[in-house]
A and B are shown apart, each in its own frame.
Chain A
Amino acid sequence: MFSTHTDKQETLDLSKFPADKIRNFCIIAHIDHGKSTLADRLLEMTGAIAKTEKNKQVLDKLQVERERGITVKAQTASLFYSHQGEQYLLNLIDTPGHVDFSYEVSRSISACQGVLLIVDANQGIQAQTVANFYLAFEAQLTIIPILNKIDLKNADPKRVESQIEKVFDIPRDDCIRISAKHGTNVEMVLQAVVNRIPPPAVSSDDPFRALVFDSNFDHYRGVVANIAVFGGRVRKGDKIVSAHLGKTYEVNEIGLLRPDEHPTQRLYAGQVGYIIAGMKDVKEAQIGDTLYLQEQPVKALPGFKPAKAMVFAGMYPMDQSEYPGLRSAIERLTLNDSSVTVQKDSSLALGAGWRLGFLGLLHMEVFNQRLEQEYNASVIVTAPTVPYKAVLSSAKLIKNRRAIQKNMVYIDDQRVMMKYLFPLNEIVVDFYDLLKSLSSGYASFDYENAGYQAADLIKMDILLNGRSVEELITIVHRDRAYNTGKAMCERLKDSIPRQMFEIAVQAAIGSKIIARETIKAYRKNVLAKCYGGDITRKMKLLKRQAEGKKKMRRIGNVEVPKDAFINVLKRKDK
């Protein structure tokens, strides 16, 4: 691995690629419209990877990405492409398709001048096509619409082209019809990248400045920051400064990502690559930060709005002894995914843990899966909650899902785009699944945060023999209080063992009890036969019970096993 790097390092002179020979672009699309497949073809055609049958989602390196067939983490690949006798350096940034990861998309876009907007010629424009289009449009990037999957029987490129014209106001003639799977017309895509996307408007003669648009953490080398060079040049040994922290670092290694790391001597304006500069903590390589040379201070580039967490979940170690291990796993993982917000939290039931904020449910699931797969950590994930700012009681948004229609646009005679205002907690759990099943998979869905709205929310207590259980206090909409309360009481009843006295499990709003379950008292609990041969077995059982009792949480006189809280709090398996 390293030897090949060294070989190429000597042959590769990036000064041959001034800004006008560089194109920076990313691929954006609705999930499953073929982004990663197109990326595979582009890599093959430019010789970045060998052309084999096995190239499937080459840029999706994470196990979770391959298992789920999604892209989670943006990946960068520098491609060398000859066009009309000229060598070009094309920097491709593959982006996640799912709405949860649009934060990654917007970051990637900031390093680009153009985007390939891929639309499935069969499915047409979908919710995230629209969302991603606007991200690119607002960043004033050149947009190249690409109709993919034209090889499919039901492909209707004409209809999709007219959708694109109508919704995005892009002339239908600009669309390129391809089959990424078969490589059909992919060459045209590369040509369009060179011809239509402007080169970055930067100069190698300016002072060096670079935007950190992503960062990874490497166990051995520390932070590996992905940068887009907006001016000047940087080489190994340079002293650079982080504008955000004002700290100085020495460049240990720079290079291109092809998509593997490929060290070079220098990076020049307009180029995209990675830099390793002895940063020990990803917080030092803040996404959106500007790097410049120590001797040539510059004005910092506009950074990014921090990602806004939309879904929160508690994460707790299975056992408190696993806390330090889980802490370091979460730290490591958040190093590579700075959109996750982390707050220490503790629950009387589950011990010390964290309250993590995610961009969406998939994001949360992916994070959890990565914790398990990449860090071998097992966690208890408690139900997602959404941020509430105030608890007011004004009866308002009421429909089945408490939604208000905002507008409705017919995309064509077969498609309609509707905008609704939803309370977030109505959509975080199962809305998307329900929508998909109601529409037999045809409907798609996207959302953005519309700010806080007044709602009729109330605090619900769960009582055990009249004592409130702190860790089970829940904020619910008044209309859902009964159902939620009843379900919680039932789950608690099933997980608290019978005791010597009766236990009332109640859900209450203020002083009003809205649901109740009863755990009957033991009337008899004593082993019938206990003689000389029975004592060993009985002792074992009793000792286990005594150990279990130690771990019980006391609510008044009621002993509640830790499992009970987990059963009530954890997300239900689908």
Chain B
Amino acid sequence: MIRQTFPGVRRALPAALRFLSGGETFGDEPECADLTKEASLYVHWPYCLRRCSYCNFNKYIPRENNSHVMTDCLQRETETLLQLSQISSITSVFFGGGTPSLAHPSTIAAILETVSRQVKLPASAEVTLEVNPTPMGMSKLEDFCRAGVNRLSIGVQSLQDNDLGVLGRDHTSHQALEVIEEAQRLCPGRVSVDVMFGRPRQSVESWEKELSDLLRVCDDHVSLYQLTLERGTQLFKQVQQGEVTVPAEDVMAEMYQCARRTLQQNGFLQYEVSNFARNNAVSHHNMSYWRGKQYIGVGPGAHGRFVPLGDGGVVREARTQTLEPDVWIHEVQQRGHGTRRKIQLCHLQLLEEVLVMGMRMTQGINHNHWALFSPQMNLQEVFGTTSDVHQLLQKGYLILDDRGLRCSWDGLVLLDSMLPALLLELETQIQQRPQRNHSADGQTQTANSQCE
């Protein structure tokens, strides 16, 4: 082994060079015919220093420093799942959490090393790390990049210090700005900021102001999320009890529309419901979720979608890893992985996911993309005949043309109101046509493909 301390370092430079050379446009990424041969990798770091008031994610406040054990187990599970899959190449890696920037850079390096030991991890592959914009997080950025990270996603959430307090964040807006600056220095053009709207007491005006402040400092990628009140969170309770009020639904809608316009005016293209990029700085990792590609999820509670070896090796499985870190650690130590649940996706279920995820992108689902999963029935045949879909087309919420099926600007906001109709249509059409089923992964499939 040559790369010992920071094995990713050799990869970091070419990645940056590749970016400078221009990259690709996100509309026409070449589709790989054999979907089972590649996947993206998600690695979950379950620990946080504190609980944010709005967050219901799978995260834990560590009782002791067990980052060594965690590192070992993440490597071990990565190894096991890669072996189990049929992939020969990892197209992107995403370290999420929790707060993965709490992990030691050597952990990141070790995992990337594990990957490239087993399969191809192209130097150009996008490796994203979620970063909490704290001084501590900032101090490690450079080492993360040396370890192989080439894209940073910064959880800014808000530029209002008051709001950061209400949300339970452990950083100030000033610190966030510093981290953005440092991140841009390290990964120019590959820094994303997360912001949240619909926060308690937020108005449309203050949001507009905040957004324009953000636009002055941010890099080429913005993710903006409407604050969702999740059951079991502190904020949910506060709102229930009337201690805190969040903007009304219509105000939320206004904030979203206003952000979409503002970002567009600033050269950011919306490429997904919550994601905006300029200079084609889209997240390749996330794009592969929305395009129905395979992914392997490693770490407590991580989800995966891939075709494992054996059993004919054609059926994609939805896999969920054990949620609770201690239990997960134990399982990984015992059997090499902590997969808690495996569900075989039938042909219809796979197409349903392809539809639901694909429609979140502004480019929607193009004909070639759909044909990869449904070679026997094209978009026109599935959706072009029903009166429900026709109404949506007529009203201009949906577009079905020679490019494919997608939401219009107005339709994207109402996607979840349209999906049930599209899903029903898909189900009807698929079930009406008994035929040889092609698995999503391009191979003819005879068994296990029919839904109950």
Binding site for B on A (CB under 8 A): 499-500, 520, 522-533, 535-536, 538-539, 542-543, 545-546, 548-550, 557
The main secondary structure of chain B at its interface with chain A is: helix
The yes or no answer to B333 lying at the interface (CB within 8 A) is no
A557 to B421, CA, bound (A): 13
Tell me the nearest residue of chain B to A541, going by C-beta. Answer: B416
Given contacts A532-B305, A542-B356, A546-B420, contact A523 B297 (CB under 8 A): no
A550 to B431, CA, bound (A): 15
Given contacts A528-B226, A528-B228, contact A533 B417 (CB under 8 A): no
Contact residues in A for B226 (Cβ distance below 8 Å): 524, 528
Check if B415 sits within 8 Å of A523, measured CB to CB: no
A-B residue pairs, 3 tightest by C-beta = A523-B253, A524-B253, A546-B420
Check if A526 sits within 8 Å of B273, measured CB to CB: yes
Given contacts A525-B417, A533-B303, contact A546 B256 (CB under 8 A): no
Given contacts A499-B417, A528-B228, A549-B420, contact A539 B273 (CB under 8 A): no
Query: A524-B252, A549-B420 are known contacts; what are 8 more A-B pairs with Cβ within 8 Å?
Result: A526-B360, A528-B228, A532-B305, A533-B301, A535-B356, A535-B357, A546-B421, A550-B424
Contact residues in B for A538 (Cβ distance below 8 Å): 356
Check if A549 sits within 8 Å of B424, measured CB to CB: yes
Contact residues in A for B352 (Cβ distance below 8 Å): 539, 542-543
Tell me the nearest residue of chain A to B321, going by C-beta. Answer: A533
Offer 17 A-B interface pairs, CB within 8 angstroms, sorted by A: A522-B417, A523-B249, A523-B253, A524-B253, A525-B417, A527-B228, A528-B225, A528-B226, A530-B360, A531-B289, A532-B305, A533-B42, A533-B301, A535-B305, A536-B303, A546-B420, A549-B421
Which listed residue, A523, A527, A532, A545, touches B420 by the CB 8 Å rule? Answer: A545
Interface-centre pick from A500, A531, A549, A550 (highest chain B CB count, 10 A): A531
A533 to B427, CA, bound (A): 23
Contact residues in A for B286 (Cβ distance below 8 Å): 531
The main secondary structure of chain A at its interface with chain B is: loop
Shortest Cβ gap from B452 to chain A (Å) = 13
Contact residues in A for B353 (Cβ distance below 8 Å): 535, 539
Contact residues in A for B349 (Cβ distance below 8 Å): 539
Contact residues, B220-243 vs A (CB, 8 A)? 225-226, 228
Contact residues in A for B134 (Cβ distance below 8 Å): none
The yes or no answer to B413 lying at the interface (CB within 8 A) is yes
Contact residues, B102-127 vs A (CB, 8 A)? none
Given contacts A500-B414, A524-B256, contact A546 B424 (CB under 8 A): yes
Which listed residue, B42, B303, B414, touches A525 by the CB 8 Å rule? Answer: B414
Shortest Cβ gap from A368 to chain B (Å) = 35
The yes or no answer to B393 lying at the interface (CB within 8 A) is no
0 or 1 for each of B251-272: is its CB under 8 Å from A? (1 = yes)? 0111010000000000000000
The yes or no answer to B373 lying at the interface (CB within 8 A) is no
Check if B320 sits within 8 Å of A536, measured CB to CB: yes
The yes or no answer to B391 lying at the interface (CB within 8 A) is yes
Check if B356 sits within 8 Å of A524, measured CB to CB: no
Contact residues in B for A532 (Cβ distance below 8 Å): 42, 289, 295, 297, 303-305
The yes or no answer to B16 lying at the interface (CB within 8 A) is no
Given contacts A533-B42, A536-B303, A549-B420, contact A526 B289 (CB under 8 A): no
A538 to B289, CA, bound (A): 14
Shortest Cβ gap from B251 to chain A (Å) = 10
Contact residues in B for A539 (Cβ distance below 8 Å): 349, 352-353, 356
Tell me the nearest residue of chain B to A554, going by C-beta. Answer: B388
Which listed residue, A522, A542, A557, touches B419 by the CB 8 Å rule? Answer: A542
Contact residues, B285-315 vs A (CB, 8 A)? 286, 289, 295, 297, 301-305
The yes or no answer to B397 lying at the interface (CB within 8 A) is yes
With an 8 Å Cβ cutoff, the count of chain B residues facing the other chain is 44
A16 to B29, CA, bound (A): 105
Contact residues, B395-437 vs A (CB, 8 A)? 397, 412-421, 423-424, 427
Check if B414 sits within 8 Å of A522, measured CB to CB: yes
Shortest Cβ gap from A35 to chain B (Å) = 53
Contact residues in B for A525 (Cβ distance below 8 Å): 413-417
0 or 1 for each of B33-68: is its CB under 8 Å from A? (1 = yes)? 000000000100000000000000000000000000
Check if B274 sits within 8 Å of A528, measured CB to CB: yes
Contact residues in B for A520 (Cβ distance below 8 Å): 250
The yes or no answer to B382 lying at the interface (CB within 8 A) is no
Contact residues in A for B412 (Cβ distance below 8 Å): 526
Interface-centre pick from A522, A530, A532, A539 (highest chain B CB count, 10 A): A532
Check if B423 sits within 8 Å of A543, measured CB to CB: yes
Given contacts A532-B42, A532-B295, A533-B297, contact A527 B417 (CB under 8 A): no
Check if A535 sits within 8 Å of B413, measured CB to CB: no
Contact residues in A for B302 (Cβ distance below 8 Å): 533
Contact residues in B for A531 (Cβ distance below 8 Å): 286, 289
Check if B423 sits within 8 Å of A535, measured CB to CB: no
0 or 1 for each of B202-228: is its CB under 8 Å from A? (1 = yes)? 000000000000000000000001101
Contact residues in B for A549 (Cβ distance below 8 Å): 420-421, 424
A532 to B285, CA, bound (A): 10
The yes or no answer to B13 lying at the interface (CB within 8 A) is no
The yes or no answer to B177 lying at the interface (CB within 8 A) is no
Given contacts A500-B397, A529-B274, A539-B353, contact A524 B413 (CB under 8 A): yes
Shortest Cβ gap from A398 to chain B (Å) = 45
Tell me the nearest residue of chain A to B57, going by C-beta. Answer: A533
A200 to B298, CA, bound (A): 92
The yes or no answer to B318 lying at the interface (CB within 8 A) is yes
Contact residues in A for B295 (Cβ distance below 8 Å): 532
Shortest Cβ gap from A312 to chain B (Å) = 37
Check if B303 sits within 8 Å of A500, measured CB to CB: no
Check if B357 sits within 8 Å of A530, measured CB to CB: yes
A545 to B297, CA, bound (A): 28
Check if B397 sits within 8 Å of A526, measured CB to CB: no
Shortest Cβ gap from A334 to chain B (Å) = 40
Check if A523 sits within 8 Å of B289, measured CB to CB: no
A277 to B272, CA, bound (A): 77
A527 to B418, CA, bound (A): 12
Tell me the nearest residue of chain B to A531, going by C-beta. Answer: B289
A72 to B295, CA, bound (A): 68
Given contacts A533-B42, A533-B297, A535-B289, contact A526 B305 (CB under 8 A): no
Shortest Cβ gap from B107 to chain A (Å) = 20
0 or 1 for each of B344-375: is its CB under 8 Å from A? (1 = yes)? 00000100110011001000000000000000
A531 to B252, CA, bound (A): 21
Contact residues in A for B42 (Cβ distance below 8 Å): 532-533
A536 to B302, CA, bound (A): 12
Contact residues in B for A499 (Cβ distance below 8 Å): 417
Check if A526 sits within 8 Å of B225, measured CB to CB: no
A524 to B413, CA, bound (A): 5
A527 to B415, CA, bound (A): 8
0 or 1 for each of B314-357: is its CB under 8 Å from A? (1 = yes)? 00001010000000000000000000000000000100110011
Shortest Cβ gap from A364 to chain B (Å) = 38
Tell me the nearest residue of chain A to B349, going by C-beta. Answer: A539
A531 to B297, CA, bound (A): 12
A10 to B415, CA, bound (A): 82
Shortest Cβ gap from A392 to chain B (Å) = 43
Given contacts A500-B414, A535-B303, A550-B424, contact A527 B289 (CB under 8 A): no
Interface-centre pick from B250, B349, B419 (highest chain A CB count, 10 A): B419
Tell me the nearest residue of chain A to B302, going by C-beta. Answer: A533
Contact residues in B for A543 (Cβ distance below 8 Å): 352, 423
Shortest Cβ gap from A552 to chain B (Å) = 10
Tell me the nearest residue of chain A to B227, going by C-beta. Answer: A528
Which listed residue, A524, A528, A533, A546, touches B423 by the CB 8 Å rule? Answer: A546
Shortest Cβ gap from B290 to chain A (Å) = 8
Contact residues in A for B397 (Cβ distance below 8 Å): 500
Contact residues in B for A536 (Cβ distance below 8 Å): 303, 318, 320
Shortest Cβ gap from B324 to chain A (Å) = 15
Shortest Cβ gap from A520 to chain B (Å) = 8
Shortest Cβ gap from A570 to chain B (Å) = 26
A549 to B414, CA, bound (A): 16
